[in-house]
Amino acid sequence: MNAAKTLKLTAFSFLSAFSLLLLQPVLAAPLVELTPEAKQNTSGAFKELKQIEKILSDVAKLRDLPVKRPIQIGVLDRSQLEKTLAKQINEEIPANKIKGETALYRQLGMLPKDFNYQKFMVDLYTEQIGGFYDPKTRELNLIKGTPLTGLDQQMLIAHELTHALQDQHYELQKYLSQGSENDDQNLARTSLIEGDATVTAMEYIQQRAENKPVQGLFEMLGSVVNSARQMQSFEKFRSAPKFIQESLTFPYDQGSQFVNAFRQDGWSWSDIKLLYTNPPNATEHILHPSTYLEGQAPQPVNFSLKNYFKGSTVLTGSVWGELSYRQYLAHHLDWREAKDAAQGWQGDRYEVLETPQGKVYGFFSRWDNPEEAKAFFSAWRKSLSKREYSASGMTATGGQIRSKDNHILWAEQKGASVAIIENLSFAHSSSLAAIAKAWQAEASKAATPGKPLPRP
């Protein structure tokens, strides 16, 4: 969705907060090795390697993903981790995207005006991460002093090893890059990856701890992986806005529920490969697995405001998805109302433009039917009274209203489509008729049919 999603999704290596390792099927060669740098940092002594190899062997067998090559392990201290995360953010996330999304959250009342989002997210990830895997170098980086004893630490390592096996069999970097321009799709795929690793780690611990059915363990641990729950003990996490907390835990919480639904339905781990060859493409799929099974395809929205505002630059633009619309509405309204209003999502595009007259924010969405569009628009309209707008001048299907600083908000619900543009200047308002006409032409395009997921 937003920057939370971006920092979390596009930079998968550190978002995952967990890591990867790998296993070789038959041989005497070591399954894991220290990198040359790690050998220097540890004087070549890292007794945990044998523990990691044993967990790796068990997880590979459980997950039915044979190891193809040994993994290189790096060892970093906390300061090195901070530098690495900051470097990855600067390299992988364009400065304009950070700038645009930070402005977007502030515009929507979801972040304080003086909130330094980029620094906060680096501090947040650094605070809670115990290691990370870099798909580019295929190295697992562990933090010095991370203990590997006890079931909770073994669960963490099992989670990391699952990621390594996923990477060897599904090429995670390529898998995620296919949705790099679609934040919502990226989050959905990340949720499959993290949900898979979470459920695998749970089943691994089940085998070691007690002879209970998987569902019993799932209920014992709750829907959120143990590590995600532990985030609550971190100061930065506790101080984060609620939507950032939810975005961070979503891949583990909802992703594990998504994967566990298939496991409880009798799918073997070999069957789970179908989820990768036919990946979920929207947070709608993760939130409602039935939409994924039925093959309900998210509808692409190809619409941009750039050509309507002379001298403008698109700072960022992507797909918000059901989760992000729900998070925005829940920030201002009752959670149940927000959930119900966002549930009819079919497709969308949002944009943040830098214009000579200031930033402009556009939201263009399609819904399952006119009733769902109406329900969403009604909730959005209601949310405006919690911000710097008075919705009293807007009809049930749209219109124009002014903010306290005299900017214009224009919105329209027509059929199953909704268009919303915020922070318009008077110079921009002359373009609204042309924008509305072009948007309706885009929104009236026939939906692309999907295909039901093939059953194993």
For residues 323 and 389, membership in a common domain is answered with: yes
Strand-pairing partners, residue 33, are 72
On whether the CB atoms of residues 162 and 47 are closer than 8 A, the answer is no
- On whether residue 410 sits in a domain, the answer given is yes
Angle subtended by helix axes 151-170 and 183-209, to nearest 10: 130
User: Is the model's pLDDT at 9 over the cut of 50?
Assistant: no
Residue 442: closest CA among 411, 409, 414, 408: 414
Domain containing 384 equals 306-443
- Cα 432 to chain centroid distance, Å, stands at 33
For residues 332 and 275, membership in a common domain is answered with: no
Q: How far apart are CA 311 and CA 170, in angstroms?
A: 42
Number of domains in the chain: 2
- In 210-240, alpha helices (H): 214-221, 226-230, 235-239
Q: How confident is the model at residue 28 (pLDDT cuts 50, 70, 90)?
A: low
**What pLDDT is recorded for position 23?**
34
Task: Report pLDDT digits (tens) over 415-444.
Answer: 999 999 999 998 888 899 999 999 999 999
The last residue of a domain, from among 260, 290, 320? 290
For residues 70 and 185, membership in a common domain is answered with: yes
For residues 251 and 331, membership in a common domain is answered with: no
Q: How many CB atoms lie within 10 A of CB 128?
A: 16
Residue 3: closest CA among 375, 313, 320, 421: 320
- On whether residue 453 sits in a domain, the answer given is no
Q: With pLDDT > 90 as the criterion, what percentage of the chain qualifies?
A: 51
For residues 58 and 175, membership in a common domain is answered with: yes
Lowest pLDDT segment from 1-10, 59-68, 207-216: 1-10
Task: Report pLDDT digits (tens) over 198-214.
Answer: 999 999 998 887 644 44
On whether the CB atoms of residues 372 and 413 are closer than 8 A, the answer is no
- Cα 97 to chain centroid distance, Å, stands at 16
- On whether residue 349 sits in a domain, the answer given is yes
The last residue of a domain, from among 290, 315, 334? 290
Handedness of CA 8, 175, 227, 329 (dihedral sign): positive
Q: How confident is the model at residue 97 (pLDDT cuts 50, 70, 90)?
A: confident
- On whether residue 206 sits in a domain, the answer given is yes
Residue 235 burial class via C-beta count within 10 angstroms: exposed 0-12, middle 13-18, buried 19 and up: exposed
Q: Which residues contact 73 (CB under 8 A, 6 or more apart)?
A: 21, 32, 33, 34, 35, 38, 46, 49, 52, 139, 140, 141, 142
Place of tokens 């990391």: 160
For residues 167 and 246, membership in a common domain is answered with: yes
Lowest pLDDT segment from 11-20, 65-74, 212-221, 330-339: 11-20
**What pLDDT is recorded for position 130?**
64
φ, ψ dihedrals at 334, nearest 5° = -65, 140
Q: What's the token pair of residue 213?
A: 């059915």
For residues 276 and 315, membership in a common domain is answered with: no
Residue 364: closest CA among 421, 445, 449: 421
Q: How far apart are CA 292 and CA 279, in angstroms?
A: 9
On whether the CB atoms of residues 141 and 129 are closer than 8 A, the answer is no
**What pLDDT is recorded for position 174?**
87
User: Is the model's pLDDT at 450 over the cut of 70?
Assistant: yes
**What pLDDT is recorded for position 361?**
97
The last residue of a domain, from among 257, 290, 323? 290
Residue 162: closest CA among 58, 254, 250, 277: 58
Q: How confident is the model at residue 196 (pLDDT cuts 50, 70, 90)?
A: very high
User: Is the model's pLDDT at 3 over the cut of 90?
Assistant: no
- On whether residue 301 sits in a domain, the answer given is no
**What pLDDT is recorded for position 16?**
39
For residues 238 and 365, membership in a common domain is answered with: no
- On whether residue 295 sits in a domain, the answer given is no
For residues 319 and 366, membership in a common domain is answered with: yes
**What pLDDT is recorded for position 100?**
92
Q: How far apart are CA 133 and CA 87, in angstroms?
A: 15
Mean pLDDT of 78-95: 75
Of 216 and 132, which is predicted with more confidence? 132
CATH code of residue 177: 1.10.390
Mean pLDDT of 313-337: 97
Q: How far apart are CA 178 and CA 192, in angstroms?
A: 14
On whether the CB atoms of residues 367 and 417 are closer than 8 A, the answer is yes
For residues 81 and 168, membership in a common domain is answered with: yes
Q: Which residues contact 125 (CB under 8 A, 6 or more apart)?
A: 7, 14, 15, 17, 85
For residues 283 and 160, membership in a common domain is answered with: yes
On whether the CB atoms of residues 366 and 443 are closer than 8 A, the answer is yes
Q: How confident is the model at residue 121 (pLDDT cuts 50, 70, 90)?
A: confident
On whether the CB atoms of residues 297 and 201 are closer than 8 A, the answer is no
3-state class (DSSP) for residue 323: helix
Residue 102: closest CA among 428, 361, 319: 361
3-state class (DSSP) for residue 73: strand
- On whether residue 449 sits in a domain, the answer given is no
For residues 315 and 222, membership in a common domain is answered with: no
Mean pLDDT of the chain: 83
**What pLDDT is recorded for position 223?**
33
**What pLDDT is recorded for position 269?**
96
Q: How confident is the model at residue 80 (pLDDT cuts 50, 70, 90)?
A: confident
Of 118 and 163, which is predicted with more confidence? 163
User: Is the model's pLDDT at 145 over the cut of 50?
Assistant: yes
- Give the DSSP letter of residue 138: T
- In 23-94, alpha helices (H): 36-41, 48-63, 78-92
**What pLDDT is recorded for position 229?**
45
Task: Report pLDDT digits (tens) over 368-406.
Answer: 999 999 999 999 999 998 887 877 778 999 999 988 788
- On whether residue 31 sits in a domain, the answer given is yes
On whether the CB atoms of residues 324 and 5 are closer than 8 A, the answer is yes
Task: Report pLDDT digits (tens) over 273-296.
Answer: 999 999 999 999 999 999 999 999
Task: Report pLDDT digits (tens) over 218-262.
Answer: 443 443 344 444 454 467 777 888 898 899 899 999 999 999 999
